[in-house]
Amino acid sequence: MDEPISAVGEVIAVTTASFVAQSYRLNESPAYGSLVLTHGPDGRSHYGLCSGIETSGIEPGRHTMAWGNADEAAGDIYARQPQLAHVLRTTFSCVVLGYSDPDGVVVQRMPPQPPRVHERVWAASRTEAEAFFASGFAYLRFLLRSGVETVEDLIAASIGFGYHLRGGDYAFLVGAGRFVASLLADDHDRLTAVLELLAATEEGS
């Protein structure tokens, strides 16, 4: 059984292949490399991979400045400046990896339509995440083409997410590593970077 979870944020901008969501809680967001979902009214759910997290001022022209000073007593700045929770916001970017229709079958490909703005965003439940990884590693190809900075780290983080979700499934890690090796066969440096990160994932488990 999945544990009941609540929405983590709300979509505020979409493109064909990505969306940005605002977190409901300041300084909290889905983990980098973790899977999230939106559920549309037509029964279609979009899978996204958290590819970046940012906290900054809500007003575009307002600069965030240091509030404290070196001699100040320790303490939570958000308690000392309670208005900060209202003038800052945390957003996270997601690469769209695929979708599932009401029948529950996951398709790893670009959806015909992106999620709608103001759709709520949920961390993928264990069942949803397992269904996603059960549908293969084709999403890694999207990631390589996504133009996301530090894409090697993102690939490794997403594989690590799946590995831990499946209780440290070594066969999963090896399968993913082989798939990455086939994608990056002609780019030794990038492949090495991903494999080193995956080795660290395995050691850290």
Place of tokens 């320790």: 74
Q: Which residues contact 12 (CB under 8 A, 6 or more apart)?
A: 20, 21, 22, 91, 117, 118
* Distance of closest approach, residue 184 Cβ to other proteins, in angstroms: 44
Nearer to other proteins, 61 or 112 (CB): 61
Closest CB 121 distance from other proteins, rounded Å: 25
Note whether 171 binds other proteins by CB under 8 A.
Answer: no
Q: How far is CA 52 from CA 31, 70, 111, 139, in A?
A: 9, 30, 21, 17
Q: Which is nearer to other proteins, 57 or 175 (CB)?
A: 57
Assess 185 for contact with other proteins (CB under 8 A).
Answer: no
Restricted to residues 70-99, the positions that interact with other proteins (CB under 8 A) are 78-83, 85-87
**Helix or strand holding residue 88 (H, E):** strand 88-100
Which residues neighbour 121 within 8 Å (Cβ) at sequence distance 6 or greater? 7, 8, 9, 10, 11, 21, 30, 36, 37, 38, 48, 94
**Is the CB of residue 20 less than 8 Å from the CB of residue 142?**
no
By CB under 8 A, name the one of 61, 102, 112, 167 that touches other proteins: 61
Give the per-residue contact string, 21-60, with other proteins (x = CB under 8 A; - = no).
Answer: --------------------------------------x-
Residue 40 and residue 80 in contact, taking contact as beta carbons nearer than 8 Å: no
Nearer to other proteins, 87 or 174 (CB): 87
* Farthest-apart Cα atoms in the chain, separation: 60
Nearer CB in complex with other proteins: 79/185: 79
Residue 178 binding other proteins, by CB under 8 A: no
Residues of the shown chain interacting with other proteins in the complex, contacts defined by CB under 8 A: 59, 61-62, 65, 67, 78-83, 85-87
